């Protein structure tokens, strides 16, 4: 992908103008792509104003790369996007998809108690107790999700 695109700021929502600037395309092109790529569904609020999230900005950059840099047609880019998204879903289901910068805990049967003393800040008991509480909640969420799958 072209390196001249600006970095994406840490915001929750982006307007269509901001996304256009971040991705190097005009707003009318984004509206057109929204019709052509069903995966692209920005949230709409009052007056049909579109608000894009971070993952949608990344998707638009990927679409832009396919169309402008790699020379795909709209139809070819649509098919390629479906392949890429299906591949990501398959990796996620197989447990291979990992977030950058996030340590993955090996062993699905690990318990909260296995990680109680793993590197918490002992100098600050408030931070330590809050981290323990968050970890406990995450383990409970994981356990609930394992029942669904």
Annotate 59-117 with DSSP letters as a single string: HHHHHHIIIIIS---HHHHHHHHHHHHHHHHHHHHTT----TT-PPPS-TT--GGGGTT
User: Checking phi first, is residue 34 left (phi over 0); if not, alpha (psi -120 to 50) or beta?
Assistant: alpha
Whole-number Å distance between alpha carbons of 31 and 46 = 16
> What is the Cβ-side half-sphere exposure of residue 1, based on CA atoms within 13 angstroms?
16
d(CA 16, CA 49): 8
pLDDT at residue 109, rounded to an integer: 56
Distance of CA 9 to the CA centre of its chain: 14
Does the pLDDT at position 146 exceed 90? Answer: no
User: Is the whole model's pTM more than 0.95, yes or no?
Assistant: no
pLDDT category at 143 given cuts 50, 70, 90 is: confident
As a CATH number, domain 14-93 is 1.10.1660.10
- The confidence band for 149, taking pLDDT boundaries of 50, 70 and 90, is very low
Instruction: Show me where the domains of the chain are located.
Output: 14-93, 112-148
Q: What is the pLDDT of residue 119?
A: 53
């Amino acid at each position: 992908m072209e390196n001249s695109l600006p970095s994406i700021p840490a915001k929750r929502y982006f307007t269509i103008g901001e996304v256009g600037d971040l991705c190097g395309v005009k707003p009318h092109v984004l509206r057109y792509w929204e019709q052509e790529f069903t995966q692209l569904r920005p949230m709409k609020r009052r007056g049909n104003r579109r608000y894009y999230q971070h993952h949608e900005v990344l998707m638009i950059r990927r679409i832009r790369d396919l169309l402008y840099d790699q020379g795909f047609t709209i139809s070819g880019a649509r098919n390629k996007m479906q392949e890429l998204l299906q591949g990501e879903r398959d990796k996620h289901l197989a447990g291979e998809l990992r977030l950058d910068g996030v340590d993955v805990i090996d062993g699905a049967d690990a318990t909260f108690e296995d990680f109680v003393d793993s590197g918490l800040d002992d100098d600050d008991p408030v931070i330590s107790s809050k981290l323990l509480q968050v970890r406990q909640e995450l383990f409970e969420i994981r356990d609930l999700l394992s029942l669904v799958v």
